[in-house]
Amino acid sequence: MSATLALALAQVDPKVGDVAGNVALIRKARAAAAASGADLVLLPELVVSGYPPEDLVLKPAFQKACREAVESLAADTADGGPGLVVGTPWVEGGKLHNAVCVLDGGRVQTVRFKHHLPNYGVFDEKRHYTPGEGPAVVVHFKGVNIGLAICEDIWFDRVPKAVKAAGADVMLVPNASPWRRSIQDERARAFDAWSHLALPYMFVNQMGGQDELVFDGASYATNSTHGARCSLVGQFETGYAVVEFDPSTKQFVGLGKSCRADLEGWAAEYRAAMQGLGDYVRKNRFPGVVLGMSGGIDSAITAAIAADALGPDKVWCVMMPSKYTSDHSLEDAKACAVALGCRYDTINIHPGVEALSQMTGPMFVGRKPDITEENIQSRLRAVTLMALSNKFGHMVVTTGNKSEMAVGYATLYGDMCGGYNALKDFYKTEVFELAKWRNENLPPGALAPAGEVIPIRIITKPPSAELREDQKDEDSLPPYPVLDDILRGLVDLEEDVDDILKRGHDPATVRRIEHLVYIAEYKRRQAPPGVKVGGKNFGRDRRYPITNRFRDD
């Protein structure tokens, strides 16, 4: 037995359903670990299938493909190289489990089933898996007793206590834990509840975007508490690391020498938006994106996120003016696209508006112009962008923010039309802060230029949809700082109206906003996915009925 056990972690970006591709990732990680002298390689939760596989995991052919992949990987370990700890769907006794398998010596040595199945927020694991029962699994590997726990299993103290009681020297924890702005604080509160066990553990997390979820990696090892963790690979990147574990001291050796710092604040949130949009485009094999460039803040920051994530050459900005589009909007839209280095074109929709007015004119005789004519403009822009998408293959990116989506200040089949929305979980006030931050910072991994890529006038001018003469958002909505505070209470915190009123808001305004939130549910159900950054996004997190008479009286 060697003096220490070399434990490698592989922070990888698996693709859901790409079993062959994920096996290739695992083999690449094993080869890198072998070159570093590792004895055992830890990979993320459900790395074989990708996470979350949702109802795909219920398909027998998919279950079979995953099992065969694990058996093939197990056969690889007959070469005497490092063992593997891989997450996979696993059927045992007719029941489907979220499992982790220890592969060594040419076979599947141990299988451990996840005990705590999350069934809240974005998680539906009780829909898919049977929880593991029985004693904690401890594997004796090259003189070290290794405990196994899977993601949610360490959010409670039951499994860590059982692992410790079973004689584990160290615990390995494969994860597919989605990023959100509060995640590290949440983990600290949960994991430190069992820190008195003095159980060293290695935490490996998936990286990459999967639909509306973003995984940041941030894999780490610690000898004591979450607060003393040493991030080994970093956030929003793939990579490998090897840490020595000393069986005599029951401690990781050398932690603290090269730990990676977490991103914080707008830096983390902007990077998450880049990851979500970028991976959605790449994994669904689009050649690039196209978006309506209005000269406003939402389209400007969306273009910046897309250019940073994909490269300016893959972002096509299209200004589609109508008779209400101001000169400064034309100037600002072009200036932003040029600063980012993106393609910029103008397509005037006014002839289309006039044509549709002639078509519908006989039906509208005697009725004054209203929101109908405003929405026609928005829908013609959507038709134009979809035509470009169909002809050239670029995915249409939508640009609406969470404030607008909350109250329905968006046009169904108009500005809501598209494949993905990087701003879906950012309130309007947050969009402004994000834009200011981007002008002053170049995010890690960004492919667009540094500097002031969003003209200051875009940030300082009053927001307007420019669908009628002299229109401002505040004609229809409260000022955004007021609106967003009300919405955070109603949506993110599920507060009672009385609690929101205690903060000094006007009662009639709060009740109007509550009403708008409820009646806009049908629009949100038809909205494209978008990256989750907060505690409760419109999507998998918040599932309200469309037909709904409840109001908080």
Active site residues: 45, 114, 151
The SS3 assignment for 7 reads: strand
491-516 in b/e burial notation, b at 16+ Cβ within 10 A?
bbeebebeebbeeebeeebbbebbeb
* Strand runs labelled E in 366-507: 395-398, 420-421
DSSP string over 154-186: GSSSHHHHHHHHTT-SEEEEEE-----TTHHHH
CA 39 to chain centre: 33
Q: How far apart are CA 144 and CA 363, in angstroms?
A: 80
Closest CA to 215 of 192, 186, 231, 238: 238
Q: How far apart are CA 135 and CA 259, in angstroms?
A: 34
Contacts 24+ apart (CB under 8 A), 110-115: 110/137, 110/139, 110/148, 112/137, 112/148, 112/150, 114/45, 114/150, 114/151, 114/152, 114/153, 115/150, 115/153, 115/158, 115/159
Q: What share of the chain is helix, strand, coil (3-state, %, to 5)?
A: 40, 20, 40
